[in-house]
Amino acid sequence: MYLSIDIGATKTLIALFSKRGRVVRRIKFPTAKGSKTFINDLIDNLKILQKYKIKSIVVAVPGVVQKNYSVHFGNRNWDDIDIFNPVKILFDCPVYFENDANLAAVYEGYRLPGRTVFLTFSTGIGGGVVEKNRILPGINFEPGHKLHQYGGKSSEWEDIAAASALEKFYHTDPATDLRGKKVMQDIAARIYLGLPDIAQEFHPDNIVLGGPMGKIFRLYAKYLPEIPGVKYRRPKRPNESVIYGCYIYAKQKERE
């Protein structure tokens, strides 16, 4: 069995995978605002799975990973939080940490030709770059913080095109409920703002547009201007790209 832990801004998802990649069990709980409360919640939910023989665990975090288990969370004021030791005490197996968008890219870019850029449009905008099923090393990819001009002012891309920004602008929740030609044209224009720079920097063959906005990809994708040599793609699993990426990553580590 393989254990995937996806720590999100509002919820944490734990998934137990079989050897062949089938999800045997899912556990979901709210991500607490305080780190101590979160760790306690995590331990309580992981204890339920101690009866299974776990070969390895991959933890997806929405931030920067250093030295495998020292992490800085982008959506929480949790600097250098120790998740490694509480998890390691419960399970006698390797524990790996990686950025959540990188892991989503591992899954969404799996077996696609050439190089793939994965972008998640959610609370913010994150991303990862993969080639030959592997995370491209040495990249600090923070696409949501790039400045762009829209509506007569300069703003960070995630303040223009993230699902949370669209919910605020259109006074709706969730953004996946949005409909209508003009709305979809506006969404496409917002999303496209950052794509030419990404294409110029990374020269991808594929750009996967994920997160909540991946669910309505077909509604706005037809309004996205083309980028020569790049294919826009809908995510295979908009809600679960990360946990499936954890599983693939665990299998890759097993073969190293």
pLDDT per residue rounded down to tens, the chain (256 residues): 999 999 987 899 999 999 999 999 999 999 988 888 999 999 999 999 999 999 999 999 887 666 655 566 655 667 667 888 889 999 999 999 998 999 999 999 998 999 999 999 998 899 999 998 899 888 878 899 999 999 899 999 999 999 999 999 999 999 999 999 999 999 999 999 999 999 999 999 999 999 999 999 999 999 999 999 999 999 999 889 999 999 999 999 998 8
Q: DSSP label at 31? A: -
Amino acid at 160: I
- φ, ψ for residue 69 (rounded to 5)? -130, 5
Residue 38: half-sphere exposure toward Cβ, Cα within 13 Å? 22
Q: Which domains does the chain have, with CATH numbers?
A: 2-99 (3.30.420.40), 104-233 (3.30.420.40)
Under 8 Å between Cβ of 88 and 129? no
Furthest CA-CA distance within the chain? 57
Question: Rounded CA gap, 55 and 182, in Å?
Answer: 50
Closest CA to 14 of 176, 211, 244, 243: 243
Question: Rounded CA gap, 78 and 59, in Å?
Answer: 16
Residue with tokens 């524990």: 95
